[in-house]
Structure 1
Amino acid sequence: MARADLILSLVRAATRGDQTQLQKTVEALSADERAKNHGILADRLIAQLRQDSNGQPRQFAPTPVRSVSGPLIAELVPRRHTEDLILPAVVEQAVRELVEEQHRADLLRSHNLEPRNRVLLAGPPGNGKTSLAETIADALNVPFLVVRYEAVIGSYLGETAQRIGQVFEQARSQQCVLFFDEFDAVGKERGDLHETGEIKRVVSSLLLQIDALPSYVVVVTASNHPELLDRAVWRRFQIRLELPMPKQGQIEEWFKRYEKCTGHSLGLTPRSLAQRLKGLSFAEIEDFGADVLRRIALNEPEADVKKIAEHCLRQWKKRFTLRYSADVGEEK
């Protein structure tokens, strides 16, 4: 017999028209029946949940909300898979656990537990925060929704907080990964004397929305400046991960994969390349690899790959020097 608490929860959800609670309860009932080896009943419960009264697939997603600047959310197709990234071991483990919890959410709910669904990624730009968010959506096989700040942030009092509410309302309508890049733009420390009252209202609204987010929506946020985030924002995230600049061994691994993928040996060992490019971000290393491929394509069939690689290394050394000088100037 089904658990009494789940039956009561199902009745409450139905009488109140609470679709979110109804979905959670049916999933928990299904998991409970499956644990009793009642697989057929468990499957029928989930199948019934996904149909409307006419037997057609249920549509949960509302019409996307818009502002005068366009949609508040852009749905992107993930281009990367988890195995494409070179990540610190602790980050890999955390992502595996997150994905497993989401995939086995019905089992967790049968034990009155919810999967974790709030992730904060921190680190310097160009080291895989956006790519990692993509891979999470890919691993979960759910839509990848990216918040468009140019449409969300308004110029009138209360406008931004209202639009943030609309963003979360749309996200709650389906299983998805909701991604906030440059999260410090909306999650700044409220104690900062230089910030306006409007920013403080935005942060307060954001905290309320995050607290109310159902566990089937995975919110991933990325920040290049985590020190700017409000302390209360930090506490909302169950998983906090750092993606630092790549170490030499990680750059070596990148070039091994690069040569295998492109079929081009650069005439220099991955170790030598890593030593000479140490200090660059993963995004910059990918740009270097693309530069080499362009030179090879333009000089075929007589392309001297090693000579091209050496030329690109010299060019990148100049670019790195310019970037370093600019960074030092900003710090002063």
Structure 2
Amino acid sequence: MARSDLLVSLVQASASGDSKELATTVEAIIAEERAKQHNVLADRLLRALRSHSMVRRTGYLAAEAGARARDYMLETVPQKRLEDLVLPELCEYACRQLIEEQQRASLLRSHSLEPRHRVLLVGPPGNGKTSLAEALAEALAVQFFVVRYDAVIGSFLGETASRLRRVFEYARTTPCVLFFDEFDAVGKERGDLNETGEIKRVVTSLLMQVDALPSYTVVVAASNHAELLDRAVWRRFQIRLVLPAPTQTQIEQYMKAFGEKMNEPMGIKPETIAKSLGKISYAEAEEFCNGIRRRLALSLGEGCLKSIVSEQLQLWKARAYQSDAI
């Protein structure tokens, strides 16, 4: 059964003759039914929607609006898995709670509750915010959309807010994870006297759109500069997680997991590698491991993994030394 608010919106749109709202509401119901694997019902609703005279007249406009909205997002196939990430214990627990709530949304709705679907990730760059958003999409088996600021942010009055509205309208039509990286670019503090009135209007519109999202659309926002976010932004997000820079122990765990995936022993202990790498981010740890994979692939099976790891460590130390010198 579709959610009560969608049914109310459906009746109101039909009574008022608002064909655009009617189509949007039915599309949201179809998306929700497909998420529940009720594909027969979803197909029947889709056929009914296409046969509706009012909707047929606006079908081209709706398709055109959807196409424009997709110009402002990148759709990627989620590859990261939650099991592949090294996360703080409480952070992982909160994510698994979110996944369970989304997967068992029907049970929650039978108790007049909705699953949480708004997540804010903060922390220094390169420590897994984007990877975590992608892993949530993979775990939920939904589409992963990344908002493109280069396409969304415009120079004319009201242009940015209008484009963001199209993004949210499209995200409402399908279960997905909608990811805002560098969220402070559009969610800045409105009390900043150095900002123009336009960014304040954008933030106000953004917050209203976030509030209006249905619970089957999971919105994840990430920021390296939490201090720049508007105070009202924090209240909108039900789950707020800090992803700090990894400790040496966590890098050891990362290297241990990497070594277990290789076909031969690395020959160097994970703790030795972690100590040699020094204080790095997860992104840098991943790049180090990818460097080993590249050399191993190019050796055509003749390379010794221990020698390659040792060689890459030497190169890494030289890189760190040069960086310090600069």
2:30/2:45 contact within 8 Å kept: no
2:288 is equivalent to residue 288 of structure 1: yes
2-side partners of 1:169 and 1:210: how far apart?
Answer: 11
* Cross-structure match for 1:152: 152
1:265 aligns with 2:265: yes
Q: Which amino acid aligns with 2:102?
A: Q
Q: Is the 8 A contact 1:65 1:167 kept in 2?
A: no
Query: Which residues of 2 match residues 224-239 of structure 1 at below 5 A?
Result: 224-239=224-239
1:139 deviates by 1.1
What is the match of residue 11 of structure 2? 14
Q: Is the 8 A contact 1:295 1:308 kept in 2?
A: yes
- Alignment RMSD: 3.3
The answer as to 2:71 corresponding to 1:66 is no
Q: Normalized against structure 1, the TM-score is what?
A: 0.81
Please list every run of 5 or more consecutive structure 2 residues that lacks an aligned counterpart in the other structure.
Answer: 15-21, 52-58
Kindly indicate whether the alpha-carbon contact (under 8 Å) linking 1:124 and 1:243 is maintained by their aligned counterparts in 2. Answer: yes
Whichever residue aligns with residue 123 of structure 2, its letter is G
CA distance in 2, matches of 1:284, 1:194: 35
CA displacement 1:100-142 (0-9 Å, x = unmatched): 1111111111111111110001111111111111111111111
Retained in 1: the 8 A contact 2:26–2:45?
Answer: no
Amino acid at match of 2:245: M
Distance across 1 between alignment mates of 2:95 and 2:264: 32
Q: Report matched runs for 1:135-284 at 5 Å.
A: 135-284=135-284
User: How far did 1:316 drift?
Assistant: 1.4
Specify the SS of the correspondent of 1:146: strand
Secondary structure at 1:66's aligned position in 2? helix
Q: Is the 8 A contact 2:117 2:216 kept in 1?
A: yes
Determine if contact 2:72/2:151 at 8 Å carries over to the other structure: yes
After superposition, the Cα gap between the structure-2 partners of 1:53 and 1:100, relative to the gap in structure 1 and judged at 3 Å, is closer
Q: In the alignment, what sits opposite 1:81? A: 81
Secondary structure of the 1:52 match is helix
Change (3 A) 1:53 1:133: closer
Q: Is the 8 A contact 2:30 2:46 kept in 1?
A: no
- How far residue 318 of structure 1 moved from its aligned partner, in angstroms, is 3.1
Name the CA shift for 1:212/1:302 in 2 (closer, same or farther; >3 Å).
closer
Structure 1 unaligned regions, length at least 5: 29-41, 327-332
Q: Quick one: distance in 1 between partners of 2:272 and 2:288?
A: 15
2:44 counterpart of 1:51: yes
Work out the CA distance in 2 between the residues paired with 1:66 and 1:11.
28
Indicate the larger mover: 190-199 or 89-98.
Answer: 190-199
Greater helix share, structure number: 2
